[in-house]
Amino acid sequence: MKRLLAAALLFAPLACRTAAPAPVDPATPAAATSNSAPIHLTLVGTNDLHGWVQPHDWKTPDGQPVHEGGLAAFAGYLANARADNPDGVVLLDAGDLFQGTLVSNLTEGQVVIDLYNRLGYRAAAIGNHEFDYGPVGAISVATQAGLDPFGALKQRLAQAHFPMLGTNLYDAHTGARPSWLPNDGTTLFTVKGVKVGVLGLTTPSTPETTNPVNVSTLRFGSLVPEALAAARKLRQEGAQVVIAVSHAGGRCFSIADPHDLSSCDRKDGEIFDLLDGLPEGTVDAVIAGHTHATIGQFVNGTPVIETPGMGRAFGTIDLYLDPSNHQILTAQTRIHADIPVCPVEDAKSHRCDPFAWKGEAKVQLQPAQYLGRPVVVDAAMAQSLAPALTRVEAEQRRPLGIPVPKALPRDYQNESALGDVLADSLRAMDHADVALLNPGGLRAELPAGELTFGGMYEVIPFDNTVATLTVNGEQLTRLIGAAYNGHKGVFQQSGLQIRLAPCPGRGRLKSAALENGEPIDPSAKYRVVVPDFLARGGDGLGAVVASLPKQDVDLGMSRPLGFRDALVAYWQSKHATLLAPKPGRVRFVPKGATCPPPGAK
């Protein structure tokens, strides 16, 4: 409490805000306002693109093709925003631009930066997956002498016409800013005569959420003191508005009322911890990312937006400033969160994802409008992207000779057909007793038909290795407890019978037994196969993994094939058909129980 009070007193001058009694209509065209009208800034925020420069393709139940997202369609929305507020749009991204699609990965993010340059981004946070590509070229981990772990990222930094920011990044040995970063994690520019400062933050969990070899020479500072220091520096340099682009987010389950935080998981979100620790007014707005969840709330007076990512949506924060002193008129601030990117939309829901027409036999589609204007896909941008998509199309469609008779869906919160198939295959491939998969590692479903390289790549876009843990029964029990008593969704597994309470958190795991129902023997030895992300302590397993003898943790670095390719090779060798087994290895007790909303007391 003393520290927080001291920080509030020390940085009290950072808050340059005042309330206004009468809100203006944010839709009022700029041309109709007088010289005494408030200055209008439109912050457009995106996050977690993960390489999705192209749209997601769906079909309605009656067979109509629908395209969701994609940067060419987003450009149409952006054009409307700039027409609505000429010279007042500030386009920002909260990180994780690259890793996730074949078109991005084959160019190590070059295609993403090219299109972001064309869209006119002003700044982006450095996300944890910006380090995934490691050295330039096919090798993604700097395990050999002479390989530069930041080689691919350096190329993207040099290519970008906008700064990529991480104010809490330091050289682990010297404590100084890394010499290869071209900025100090902040940037300052002028919009409509207003000096706007932007600071970037990277989640301190980055060593656990990318290959730690690539970031072993870096230290990631704590968010609160880093944001305080960066905001103070920007204010001293004249910034009248300070925005954080934060690759550290949270989760709210309803954005109906931006002043209602009751649906937000305040106990499990770095962005809430950050804003709870900052004096109000330290930053004037936050574009968040990393958690792939929706936020559109005022947190301790600060507007925050985040989307589920993958290029499917964006958010806006409209700020209004007094024209005489450039103080923010906080009563007029408006949040518009989770705006879907849909050139053509469902007429009922005004969205274009499969959940929009769930249960509908026929769907009425209509051209989308945004800010009173039709959304026009940027044909020139789509054309510029076409060669890159053509280059990877053959690779994406390359058949692997593995039948998938029925689509295998994923499910972050439950056992899934996809998770069962992958976990069973991994366990059999490695002759292990147990296989565990982190739910966030599966990024798409497998469609019915013959498995293609591109389809498999979208399911597992990350270049993990196959790792093994040799544990006794007591250690296995602690490992299972760490997996299922957290807030990271439901781990997919093979070799166990798991019983869970419906609500996530401590005490959720009710029982764990071997797949034949026998109890786990505390003194027996078990072989557990996992992606190296988990073997390095990811998704809450860090304390258990750290307690294991080093010789019992094999990260799989010497294996000839990575996680994704090893599974494909195994299926090909077995002439496998990918069929979902009977579900039931993870059950919830009691059935039908409801969970209190996150944050409820």
Q: What is the DSSP letter of 49?
A: -
Is 431 exposed, middle or buried, given 0-12, 13-18 or 19+ CB atoms closer than 10 A?
exposed
For 28, 29, 32, 91, 344, the CA distances from 84, given in Å and listed in that order, are 8, 6, 11, 14, 21
Judge if 329 and 304 occupy the same domain: yes
Q: Would residue 346 count as lying in a domain?
A: yes
Q: Would residue 597 count as lying in a domain?
A: no
The CATH number covering residue 445 comes to 3.90.780.10
- Domain hosting residue 434, numbered range: 399-588
Judge if 369 and 446 occupy the same domain: no
Is 153 exposed, middle or buried, given 0-12, 13-18 or 19+ CB atoms closer than 10 A?
buried
Q: What angle do CA 118, 119, 120 make, to 5 degrees?
A: 90
> How many other CB atoms are found less than 10 A from the CB of residue 297?
25
Judge if 102 and 205 occupy the same domain: yes
Which of 325, 358, 384 terminates a domain? The answer is: 384
Judge if 376 and 412 occupy the same domain: no
Identify the pLDDT of residue 171.
96
Identify the pLDDT of residue 34.
47
Judge if 359 and 435 occupy the same domain: no
Judge if 359 and 403 occupy the same domain: no
Identify the pLDDT of residue 593.
63
Domain count, the chain: 2
Q: Would residue 529 count as lying in a domain?
A: yes
Q: What is the DSSP letter of 439?
A: G
Give 10-residue mean pLDDT values along the chain (601 residues). Answer: 35 40 38 70 98 93 94 98 98 95 90 97 97 89 86 97 98 95 97 98 91 90 98 98 97 95 90 96 97 96 97 98 96 97 95 88 94 96 90 85 96 96 98 95 93 91 90 97 91 97 91 96 97 89 93 86 92 97 94 61 47
| Residue that the structure tokens 């795991």 belong to | 509
Tokens, residue 372 = 């009173």
Q: Would residue 490 count as lying in a domain?
A: yes
Q: Would residue 183 count as lying in a domain?
A: yes
For 98, 296, 308, the CA distances from 290, given in Å and listed in that order, are 13, 15, 9
Judge if 429 and 485 occupy the same domain: yes
This prediction has a pTM of 0.76
The per-residue DSSP string of 148-213 comes to -TTHHHHHHHHH-SS-EE-TTEEETTT-SPPTT-SSSSEEEEEETTEEEEEEEEE-TTHHHHS-GG
Identify the pLDDT of residue 332.
97
Judge if 237 and 279 occupy the same domain: yes
Judge if 436 and 340 occupy the same domain: no
Which of 322, 351, 384 terminates a domain? The answer is: 384
**Do residues 316 and 370 lie in contact, with contact meaning Cβ atoms separated by under 8 Å?**
no
Q: Would residue 202 count as lying in a domain?
A: yes
> Which of 309, 243, 294 has its CA nearest to residue 264?
294
The CATH number covering residue 292 comes to 3.60.21.10
- In the three-class reduction of DSSP (H, G, I as helix; E, B as strand; rest coil), residue 111 is classed as helix
Judge if 375 and 414 occupy the same domain: no
Q: What is the DSSP letter of 30?
A: G
| Residue that the structure tokens 């990393």 belong to | 290
Judge if 111 and 195 occupy the same domain: yes
Measured in degrees and rounded to the nearest 5, phi and psi for residue 101 equal -130, 155
Identify the pLDDT of residue 491.
97
Q: Would residue 421 count as lying in a domain?
A: yes
Which of 327, 352, 384 terminates a domain? The answer is: 384
> Which of 302, 299, 315 has its CA nearest to residue 260?
299
Q: How far apart are CA 91 and CA 262, in angstroms?
A: 29
Identify the pLDDT of residue 478.
97
Q: What is the DSSP letter of 290?
A: S
Identify the pLDDT of residue 597.
59
The type of residue at 130 is E
Judge if 380 and 252 occupy the same domain: yes
Q: Helix %, strand %, coil % for the chain, to 5?
A: 30, 25, 45
Q: Would residue 35 count as lying in a domain?
A: no
Beta strands (DSSP E) in 393-531 are 399-404, 434-437, 449-452, 466-472, 492-494, 496-500, 509-514, 525-531
Measured in degrees and rounded to the nearest 5, phi and psi for residue 168 equal -105, 25
